[in-house]
Amino acid sequence: MAEPRFTPTGVKAPHGARVMEIAWQDGRTSRFPHDLLRGYCPCAGCQGHSGTIAFQSGGNLELVKLEPVGNYALSLEWGDSHNSGIYSFSYLRLLGDLIEAHGEKLTQVHPELPR
The confidence score (pLDDT) of residue 1 equals 57
Exposure string over 76-89, b if 16+ CB within 10 A, otherwise e: bbbeeebeebbbbb
Q: What is the reported pLDDT for 44?
A: 94
Q: Is 53 exposed, middle or buried (0-12, 13-18, 19+ CB in 10 A)?
A: buried
Residue-range domain boundaries for the chain = 4-106
CB 80 within 8 A of CB 59: yes
Q: Which fold has domain 4-106?
A: NE0471 N-terminal domain-like (3.30.2020)
DSSP class of residue 77 equals: E
Which ranges of the chain have pLDDT less than 50? Answer: none
